[in-house]
Amino acid sequence: MGKTKVAIIGSGNIGTDLMIKIMRTSTELEMSVFVGIDPESDGLARAKRMGVKTCHEGIKGLVEMPEWTDIKIIFDATSAKAHHYNYEFVKQYPDKRIIDLTPAAIGPYLVPPVNFEEGLDEKNVNMVTCGGQATIPMVAAVSRVAKVHYGEIVASIASKSAGPGTRANIDEFTETTSLAIEKVGGAEKGKAIIILNPAEPPMVMRDTVFTLSEQGDREAIRESIHKMVKEVQKYVPGYSLHQEVQFDDIPESAPVFIEGLGLRHGLKTTVLLQVKGAGHYLPEYAGNLDIMTSAALATGEKLCKLQTI
């Protein structure tokens, strides 16, 4: 059985990096068409040089191409607003599946090492956000040992790695990530913050994860986190702990106030991460983009291996 043919919509940094990943590394997926809306974009020009068919008329142009018949997976690397438009076309075709790399959240949230099985039968799965892909596995790792009252993540990315699509989606980033911390990570309440770091030279992606949970076995929590890091490293080799896991007691006599939950006490766990990109198309410091494309690629390949396509 041959590779599964795919299309990518969005000719910016994320779409271009995903295209190169598929062409260089995938054993399951085959690039069919690379789609954009700007005929002069660098991404479309690069695709042409690499021998990939292109379309500069968006999803509407793609569905009119003869290649559309054989395409089974569409990766959407545009924007949250554009994804709503794109999905209106794709959902009319029962044999197509869409993997959404925007924060549109039309389909269910999917973080590969945490809840992949929940997306097996879905026609549209949402890859949350770069911050979500990096940090939600850590919240989930704590949740597997102790009930998490609150999860807060701070994603710091190089300003140079934030293109117009990322900047246009800042509000959706915080909202989508916060909800996914709850729905996928298992926290009662979630909060997400993103920082665009203007430092020169650019710094790699850094993420800080705070959880407040019930008291639990600290060594078990530490082991759960390390195990989850190894799971993420299977498809994002540059993902690592920046420091060892830290624990602090929040005593019942001095609880903290959490909006929406009230006063809570328990065990505070702090996880410090860094994400280096693979350097396929983008610099190493753009780990925030790399983890999104890597997660989307891993999702597409796994769906093919399980023969759900």
Q: Among all residues, which ones are annotated catalytic?
A: 130
B/e letters for 39-60, b = 16+ CB within 10 Å, e = fewer, are eebebbebbeeeebebbeebbe
Residue whose pair of structure tokens reads 């701070």 in the numeric block: 154
Give the other-Cβ count within 10 Å of 223's Cβ: 14
Burial class (CB in 10 A: 0-12, 13-18, 19+), 268: middle
Identify which of 113, 112, 114, 68 has the alpha carbon closest to the alpha carbon of residue 90.
68
Quote the radius of gyration of the chain (alpha carbons, Å): 19
Q: How far apart are CA 211 and CA 154, in angstroms?
A: 12
Contact 256, 264 (CB under 8 A): yes
Determine the Cα–Cα distance for residues 156 and 198; give it in Å rounded to an integer.
10
The full 3-state SS of 229-277, as one line of letters, equals: HHHHHCCCCCEEECCCCEEEEECCCCCEEECCCEEECEEEEEEEEEECC
